Amino acid sequence: MKVIIIDDEKAMHLIMKRMLSKMVEVEIVGSFQETAAAFSYLITHEVDLIFVDISMPRENGFEFATRVRESGRELKLVFVTSHKEYALSAFEVYAYDYIVKPVESERLQQTVQRAISDKFAAIKIKKSEAVSFAVAFNCLGGIDIRSEQGVMLKWESSKSMELFCYLLMYKGRRVSREKLLEDIFHGAPPKSAEIYLNTTVYKLRKVLNLFGIKENLHSDSKHYALNLTQVIVDFLYFEEGCKRLAIINETNMQQAIELEQLYAGALFGDFAFPWAKSEIERISLMYTNLVQRLCDAQINGEHVSSDFQAVKNLQFNHRYMLP
């Protein structure tokens, strides 16, 4: 994962480099104190992830992000700022994430790991574009698994459901047993936690077996992973759709409306898992921004679709609000 840092404060360069250098998957390929030099670097170099401050002289972070988007480059931009109030504006230029200073190492690692997972998932999607999806994992507004025939799972174990969601967040990447024990079974005595994890994995395999995808749950003595081959995941589909529809106009209006309708509620519904807080907020902000852009496009367009009243009502709907 190739990363660059853009911040006018040298101290932030040192802080970010110190934390990022501890992540073995990260290669810091550049650091800049102003956006012009960074933009020139992007023209001739490959970069996966950009950490950029908002308040900078000459060109601020938002202006830089807009210029990057207009250039057609599909880069992941993460705003690192002291200003909480700019979060919604950040997603108007399709920010990948928004981190408030002072930056915490764990929060930074979450963002990096998600970016790595997304990169890995994108490669998987390209390899399986011709494959038909027989199973759907739905996590917007609730948590369920559905077959192509419409058969829906009834969860019998809350922990197997939580493990399912946790592994989904990693989009096919491996997760260590230690991490699972810490995040899902924290508070339990070590021996009991180990037994609970083994039992939960067994129950999740049984669930997946009902849909013929038991082998999608991979494990070894130290790691677990959920393979998403031949599976469609609603919140990943929603996120990809938002990326494709960065600009909404009459040519893609119907697609945008259908994408909005896909959002059945907050990620994981009423299950506010502590380890998923930042991701729940990120998807919610993404939805808020989609609705705003959709409303603006409808108002500015020559024609208003028959579905527009429903879209307008969303501005007053609880789904529109941040969790």
Report pLDDT for 270. 92
Q: Is residue 49 part of a domain?
A: yes
Indicate whether 182 and 306 sit together in one domain.
Answer: yes
Residue 312 has pLDDT above 70, yes or no: no
**pTM, rounded to two decimals:** 0.64
For the segment 135-158, the average pLDDT, to the nearest whole number, is: 86
Last residue of a domain, one of 121, 145, 179: 121
Average pLDDT, the chain: 84
Report pLDDT for 320. 41
CATH of the domain at 304: 1.10.10.10
Q: How many distinct structural domains can be found in the chain?
A: 2
Report pLDDT for 317. 47
Give me the percent of the chain exceeding a pLDDT of 90: 49
Indicate whether 83 and 199 sit together in one domain.
Answer: no
Indicate whether 140 and 284 sit together in one domain.
Answer: yes
Indicate whether 273 and 215 sit together in one domain.
Answer: yes
SS (H, E, C) 291-321: HHHHHHHHHHCCCCCCCHHHHHHHHHCHHHC
- Please give the residue that has the higher pLDDT: either 144 or 297: 144
| pLDDT one-digit tens code per residue, 51-105 | 999 988 889 998 998 888 877 777 899 999 888 877 777 776 778 888 999 999 9
Taken in order 29, 66, 283, 209, the sign of the CA dihedral is: negative
The separation between CA 130 and the C-alpha centre of its own chain, rounded to angstroms, equals: 24
For the segment 131-143, the average pLDDT, to the nearest whole number, is: 81
Complete DSSP assignment for 100-122: ESSPPHHHHHHHHHHHHHHHHHH
CA–CA gap between residue 93 and residue 96 (Å, rounded): 9
Indicate whether 97 and 214 sit together in one domain.
Answer: no
CATH of the domain at 37: 3.40.50.2300
Indicate whether 68 and 150 sit together in one domain.
Answer: no
Q: Is residue 93 part of a domain?
A: yes
Last residue of a domain, one of 70, 93, 121: 121
Report pLDDT for 322. 43
Q: Is residue 127 part of a domain?
A: no
Residue 307 has pLDDT above 70, yes or no: no
Indicate whether 142 and 210 sit together in one domain.
Answer: yes
Residue among 147, 320, 307 at smallest CA distance from 231: 147
Residue 29 has pLDDT above 90, yes or no: yes
Indicate whether 83 and 141 sit together in one domain.
Answer: no
Q: Is residue 215 part of a domain?
A: yes
Q: Is residue 314 part of a domain?
A: yes
Q: What is the span of the domain harbouring residue 108?
A: 2-121
Indicate whether 7 and 65 sit together in one domain.
Answer: yes
Q: Is residue 126 part of a domain?
A: no
Residue 319 has pLDDT above 60, yes or no: no
Report pLDDT for 133. 53
For the segment 236-264, the average pLDDT, to the nearest whole number, is: 88
Give me the percent of the chain exceeding a pLDDT of 70: 88
Residue 311 has pLDDT above 90, yes or no: no
For the segment 23-49, the average pLDDT, to the nearest whole number, is: 91
pLDDT band of residue 321 (cuts 50, 70, 90) is: very low
pLDDT band of residue 38 (cuts 50, 70, 90) is: very high
Indicate whether 191 and 256 sit together in one domain.
Answer: yes
Largest CA distance in the chain: 65
Any idea which residue has 């409808």 for tokens? 298
CA angle 145, 153, 317 (to 5 degrees): 65
Report pLDDT for 245. 87
Last residue of a domain, one of 80, 100, 121: 121
Residue 192 has pLDDT above 50, yes or no: yes
Q: Is residue 20 part of a domain?
A: yes
Indicate whether 233 and 307 sit together in one domain.
Answer: yes
Residue 3 has pLDDT above 90, yes or no: yes
Residue 123 has pLDDT above 70, yes or no: no
Indicate whether 219 and 314 sit together in one domain.
Answer: yes
Taken in order 251, 257, 237, 212, the sign of the CA dihedral is: negative
Q: Is residue 128 part of a domain?
A: no
